[in-house]
């Protein structure tokens, strides 16, 4: 069971606080001097009237474009395509998939067998139809996942969100009857989850009432809840502090290795992991808080984010090390090094099969796959047979208890994603392939390196015509993120292909500091006071594109969302001379108040605390406070979602309002649904994508 902060995030647990007004806070200079503070009232009548008025203006400006409707239709066709790869996860003898298409906008939860899955058109057994459920219940449920109980997998805890928000409900479902369990486990709408202990017992971490949530808006208390008893009688397992980030618990159901764990997340990449013993007592796993911790059968595996000296040895940051779990808990500190980074390599991920650990390594942002096998003489290491030399590669074990089988996906910007099924030691077999959603003939991919202000070598990928004229007139879209140790690697996107490349645009992805392309050091280099390093890196890539005459400021656009939206805001106010258009999606922008809005308090380890001396550096990287009337900025499209309860929509609302008042060229669109992803179904996704590409084309494409 992996218990790191990042694992909770990937599992869909981390989000914002419940959708409501801004969190209560005393008035301070930030609110007193903010004429647009009223726009933080997410669902207030005045705010929503304002949103609808801005939406109408954006719709008139962009929907009227001659190519808009054809683009929107094509993008939705891509999203709704029946030929997309139906990715699956194995539970027992079945392979489960959640599917959306034109006839099932909210989606089908379904399953099939491996034999059927191999066929071009598998027969699927539908378990739950969300569109039918919404029609029956008069709701707008969005799928948030299912947790099914081993070993029978007949009872599942299904999470559903209203409109795509992070807050959700959990309901118990019986697969054999295709129905909700009458009187079964049910969790009211809130941040949190239920997880199985056994058929009649669950862990519950949720909003239990006043004082039960952290300042970040996540569960502060985890309890053990017995079937048939009221939630109020659930037994407290662990109670965190109000300034913690998230408290959760779960059971590892691996046969012969059943163990219970509690996770206390203090901040991103700062968590404690406890083994819960049979008597209910907790024993802390004595590993660094910054390490990603996982336990698999006999092994404790740690991915270090800082150097660690233990057992008379030193281990480098970015290393993956393993020890016998029971021996470790007994006091031994004997680790074996499974991976150690170099200047160009970092660990992208790992996945277990029954007898092996598959490592995914990035070498200058290109994947290399290795198989590690534990034995009496240590861990043997070999390349994964059949893994390609090029492309972005992801490998995951299918069933770490039963087999050494795995799924492998291979993708890049120009070649449709391909899914392989394999067994360690054998050549993998192609199972599925995404169709080509755009014509890539004549296009080429390349990797380049820019030099940042401090001399750091910053990689970036570029997709363009092979015979691209270097005349500075090519419309170019530069995408970035640069935060939370998230890596950007090449991947196939029908939307980018149809919406940008097919129109003659150049597409660029920047691997700036703050991300994870070179491991923890790359991320840590742009934390808090050093946030400017991410912005300097992004500017360096833009300047390199201009110096190489790929493009020029009038034809260079940028795009990013969430933390990437903060990047877009800062590039707009700090480097306006470099860009011709900006698409700023579900962004953070007011860094004076971000920690008081929804999930913002959980990101202070990344950005800093504006209520302390951190404001001395944060104020330099807070776009809302730095935008000026007397500066010429590139045109900006702000998009967000009313139902985003992770990054508060007030950020985008207020920034747009301030820039509009100052007379700048700004456009605003807010999807009333959609959550942090900005859209709740394919129709909405296609519309939001069409808005962005139309805006960019209007501003960046040469007029002659």
Handedness of CA 520, 522, 523, 529 (dihedral sign): positive
Q: Which residues is 36 bridged to in the sheet?
A: none
Cα gap 419→124, rounded to integer Å: 19
Catalytic residue among 104, 144, 296, 676: 676
Dihedral angle over CA of 476, 477, 480, 486, nearest 10:
-110
Using DSSP, state whether 74 is helix, strand or coil: helix
Under a CB-based contact definition with an 8 Å cutoff, are residues 185 and 224 in contact?
Answer: no
Longest dimension (CA), the chain: 76
Report the alpha-carbon distance of residue 655 to residue 638 in Å, rounded. 9
Query: CB atoms < 10 A from the CB of 236, how many?
Result: 11
Which one-letter DSSP state was computed for residue 541?
Answer: H
* Residue position matching structure tokens 């993708």: 411
**Burial category of 297 from C-beta neighbours within 10 Å (exposed 0-12, middle 13-18, buried 19 and up):** middle
Rounded Cα distance between 674 and 643, Å, is: 6
Give dist(CA 54, CA 48) in Å, integer. Answer: 10
Active site residue: 562, 602, 622, 641, which one? 562
Q: Three-state SS across 326-364?
A: HHHHCCCCCCEEEECCCCCEEEEEEEECCCCEEEEEEEC
What Rg, from alpha-carbon coordinates, does the chain have?
Answer: 25
- Beta strands 476-479 and 506-510: pairing type? parallel
The residues near 186 (Cβ < 8 Å, ≥ 6 apart) are: 169, 170, 171, 172
Pairing state of beta strands 636-641 and 581-585? parallel
**Cβ contact 139:132 at 8 Å:** no
Tell me whether residue 676 is one of the annotated catalytic residues: yes
Three-state secondary structure of 152-219: CCCEEEEEEEECCCCCEEEEEEECCCCEECCCCCEEEEECCEEEEEECCEEEEECCCCCCCECCCCCE
By DSSP bridging, strand 457-465 and strand 443-451 are antiparallel
Query: What's 485-527 look like in SS3?
Result: CCCCCCCCCHHHHHHCHHHCCEEEEECCECECCCCHHHHHCCC
d(CA 566, CA 554) in angstroms, rounded, equals 22
The answer to whether 296 is a known catalytic residue is: no
The answer to whether residues 87 and 98 touch, using CB atoms and an 8 Å cutoff, is no
Distance CA 42, CA 35 (A): 16
- Residues classed as catalytic: 562, 676
């Amino acid at each position: 069971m992996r218990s790191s902060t990042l694992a909770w995030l990937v599992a869909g647990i981390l989000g914002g606080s419940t959708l409501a007004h801004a969190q209560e806070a005393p008035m301070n200079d930030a609110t007193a001097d903010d004429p647009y503070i009223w726009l933080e009232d997410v669902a207030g009548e005045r705010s929503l009237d304002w949103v609808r008025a801005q939406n109408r203006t954006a719709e008139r400006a962009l929907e009227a474009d001659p190519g808009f409707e054809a683009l929107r239709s094509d993008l939705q066709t891509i999203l709704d395509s029946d030929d997309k790869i139906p990715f699956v996860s194995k539970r027992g003898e079945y392979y489960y998939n959640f599917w959306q298409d034109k006839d099932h906008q909210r989606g089908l939860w379904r399953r099939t067998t491996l034999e059927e899955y191999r066929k071009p058109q598998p027969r699927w057994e539908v378990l739950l139809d969300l569109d039918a459920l919404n029609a029956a219940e008069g709701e707008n449920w969005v799928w948030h996942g299912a947790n099914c109980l081993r070993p029978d997998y007949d009872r599942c805890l299904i999470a559903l969100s209203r409109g795509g928000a992070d807050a959700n409900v959990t309901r118990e479902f019986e697969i054999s009857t295709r129905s909700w369990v009458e009187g079964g486990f049910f969790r009211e709408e809130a941040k949190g989850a239920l997880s199985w202990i056994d058929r009649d017992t669950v862990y519950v971490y949720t909003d239990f009432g006043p004082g039960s949530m952290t300042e970040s808006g996540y569960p502060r208390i985890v309890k053990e809840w017995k079937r048939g008893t009221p939630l109020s009688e659930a037994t407290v397992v662990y109670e965190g502090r109000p300034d913690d980030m998230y408290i959760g618990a779960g059971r590892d159901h691996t046969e012969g290795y059943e163990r219970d764990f509690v996770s206390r997340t203090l901040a991103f990449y700062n968590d404690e992991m406890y083994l819960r013993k049979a008597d209910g007592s907790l024993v802390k796993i004595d590993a660094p808080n910054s390490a990603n911790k996982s336990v698999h059968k006999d092994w404790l595996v740690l991915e270090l984010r800082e150097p660690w000296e233990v057992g008379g040895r030193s281990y480098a940051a970015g290393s993956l090390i393993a020890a016998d779990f029971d021996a470790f808990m007994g006091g031994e500190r004997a680790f074996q090094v499974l991976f150690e980074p170099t200047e160009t390599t970092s660990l992208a991920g790992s996945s277990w099969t029954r007898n092996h650990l598959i490592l995914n390594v990035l070498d200058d942002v290109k994947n290399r796959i290795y198989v590690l096998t534990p034995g009496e003489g240590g861990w043997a290491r070999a390349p994964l047979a059949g893994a390609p030399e090029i492309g972005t590669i992801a490998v995951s074990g299918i069933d770490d208890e039963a087999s050494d089988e795995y799924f492998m996906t291979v993708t890049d910007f120009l070649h449709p994603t391909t899914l392989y099924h394999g067994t360690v030691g054998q050549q993998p077999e192609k199972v599925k392939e995404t169709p080509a959603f755009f014509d890539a003939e004549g296009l080429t991919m390349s990797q380049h390196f820019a030099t940042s202000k401090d001399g750091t070598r910053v990689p970036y990928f570029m997709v363009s015509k092979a015979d691209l004229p270097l005349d500075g007139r090519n419309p170019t879209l530069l995408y970035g993120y640069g935060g939370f140790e998230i890596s950007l690697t090449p991947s196939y996107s029908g939307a980018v292909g149809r919406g940008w490349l097919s129109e003659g645009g150049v597409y660029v992805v920047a691997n700036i500091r703050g991300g994870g392309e070179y491991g923890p050091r790359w991320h840590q280099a742009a934390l808090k006071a050093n946030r400017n390093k991410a912005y300097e890196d992004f500017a360096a890539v833009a300047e390199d594109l201009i110096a190489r005459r790929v493009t020029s400021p009038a034809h260079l656009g940028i795009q990013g969302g969430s933390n990437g939206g903060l990047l877009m805001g800062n590039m707009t106010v700090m480097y306006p001379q470099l860009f011709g258009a900006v698409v700023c999606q579900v962004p953070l922008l007011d860094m004076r108040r971000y920690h008081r809005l929804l999930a913002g308090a959980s990101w202070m380890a990344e950005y800093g605390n504006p209520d302390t001396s951190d404001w001395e550096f944060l104020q330099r990287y807070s776009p809302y406070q730095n935008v000026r009337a007397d500066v010429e900025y590139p045109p900006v499209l702000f998009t967000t979602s009313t139902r985003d309860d992770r990054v508060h929509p007030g950020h985008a609302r207020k920034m747009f309002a301030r820039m509009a008042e100052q007379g700048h060229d700004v456009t605003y669109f807010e999807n009333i649904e959609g959550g942090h992803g900005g859209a709740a179904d394919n129709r909405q996704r296609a519309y939001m994508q069409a808005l962005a590409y139309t805006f960019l084309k209007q501003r960046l494409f040469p007029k002659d």
